[in-house]
Amino acid sequence: DRMKKLMIFLLAACFVIVSMADVFAATQYVTIGTGGVTGVYYPTGGAISKMVNAKRKEYNLRATVESTGGSVFNVNAIMAGDLEFGVVQSDRQYQAFNGTADWEGKPQKKLRAVFSIHPESVTLVAAVDAGINGVADLKGKRVNIGNPGSGQRGNALDLLEAAGINYEADLKAEGIKAAESAGMLQDDRIDAFFYTVGHPNGSVKEAVAGTRQVNFVPIDKAIVDKLVGQFPYYAPSVIPVGMYPGVANKADVPSFGVKATFVTSADIPDNVVYAITKEVFENFDNFKKLHPAYSTLTKESMLQGMRAPIHPGAMKYYKEAGLK
Ligand code: GLU
């Protein structure tokens, strides 16, 4: 009888231990919001998830990637708790945290920065037959300024305003997603499109590879200077034409730009943010090889351009690694 009681006790103990182990081992899933599949955000989400999923057993963490409408969509989805992480333009990070532009009067105080990634240029792609050689030539043209969830729409509106162009009165403005822009340009349904994006990328390659010849529109220095003076998050940039064989421009094209950044919410646990940060930085050389738009990345550059407070999980890693 004592034997029987002991057996029952042991069985129960085993059961408790097994179910506890199960709880501790439960995999935590996080989703990274990106952009259109032919941009750089989507493969960037893939690169980050590859780093952390390689250590799935150690962290019990699995990251998946979602194609989305872009920066504004990602911020809002993270703040609503629908996504855990997202790739977001540095200007959007600033605006959301401080309550300007799309978040006028609604500062997103729980937005947190994790790290910065590649530089992005405001890229104005036009059909050569439309004769658009400067921003002023956009008047009267069919121009995709970007879908409302995108990062580029705000950059297009800032640029048009600085150039004295009213997008409602002076343009036939479209609000379509970046992934559809190249096809629409080649089908002669638009004359030009804006895309704030790292180079090289699939969308611009697709636009340049078609039968309708394409040029990048240079942004006048005076307008760039005005924008850089007016907003803390803009910097002058250059679009490297060598990355796009077939484009009509012969020399690199001046523009302005921002940085792609990786963001999350203050509600995401420190250990999750720590794990992702650590895996990206500890595997930096491998990470850098995953996309040609990362060619200029350094660990130091990945700590520059953040506009919201750094998440404590990321900060823990930066302190440990002597980066902060
Ligand atoms: N910068 C774009 C946005 O915020 C996305 C660019 C990309 O997908 O690479 O909407």
pLDDT band at 11 (very low <50, low <70, confident <90, very high): confident
Q: Which DSSP state fits 107?
A: -
Q: What average pLDDT does this structure show over 157-181?
A: 98
d(C-alpha 109, C-alpha 92), whole Å: 13
Q: What average pLDDT does this structure show over 167-195?
A: 98
Q: What average pLDDT does this structure show over 148-176?
A: 98
* Ligand 1 atom 2 nearest Cα: 151
Our answer on whether the CB atom of 258 is closer than 6 Å to any ligand 1 atom is: no
Tally Cβ neighbours within 10 Å of residue 259: 23
pLDDT digits (tens, 9 = 90+) for 62-104: 999 999 999 999 999 999 999 999 999 999 999 999 999 999 9
pTM of the model: 0.93
Q: Is 203 helix (H, G, I), strand (E, B) or coil?
A: helix
Q: What average pLDDT does this structure show over 286-309?
A: 97
What pLDDT score was predicted for residue 12? 82
State the residue for tokens 């595997």: 283
Q: For residue 256, what are the β-bridge partners?
A: 236
Pocket test of ligand 1: the residue of 95, 120, 123, 177 to mutate, having most ligand atoms within 8 Å of its CB, is: 120
State the residue for tokens 């803009």: 234
Query: Positive or negative CA dihedral for 89, 92, 93, 94?
Result: positive
pLDDT digits (tens, 9 = 90+) for 12-46: 877 777 666 655 668 999 999 999 999 999 999 99
Q: What average pLDDT does this structure show over 269-281?
A: 98
pLDDT band at 259 (very low <50, low <70, confident <90, very high): very high
Q: Is 254 helix (H, G, I), strand (E, B) or coil?
A: strand
Our answer on whether the CB atom of 181 is closer than 6 Å to any ligand 1 atom is: no
Our answer on whether the CB atom of 70 is closer than 6 Å to any ligand 1 atom is: yes
Beta strands in the chain (DSSP E): 28-33, 61-66, 85-89, 111-127, 142-144, 172-174, 192-197, 214-216, 235-239, 253-265
Q: What are phi and psi of 27, to 5 degrees?
A: -75, 135
CA-CA distances (angstroms) from residue 56 to 160, 272, 285? Answer: 46, 12, 20
What pLDDT score was predicted for residue 15? 76
Please say if the pLDDT value at position 166 is more than 90.
yes
pLDDT digits (tens, 9 = 90+) for 211-225: 999 999 999 999 999
Our answer on whether the CB atom of 44 is closer than 6 Å to any ligand 1 atom is: no
What pLDDT score was predicted for residue 319? 98
Q: Is 89 helix (H, G, I), strand (E, B) or coil?
A: strand
Residue 40 CA, ligand 1 centroid: distance in Å: 7
Our answer on whether the CB atom of 41 is closer than 6 Å to any ligand 1 atom is: yes
Cβ 181 vs Cβ 193: under 8 Å: yes
d(C-alpha 105, C-alpha 87), whole Å: 23
State the residue for tokens 């959007």: 92
Our answer on whether the CB atom of 150 is closer than 6 Å to any ligand 1 atom is: yes
What pLDDT score was predicted for residue 218? 98
Mean pLDDT of the chain: 96
Cβ 209 vs Cβ 160: under 8 Å: no
Question: CA triplet 70, 263, 114: central angle to 5 degrees?
Answer: 145
What pLDDT score was predicted for residue 9? 83
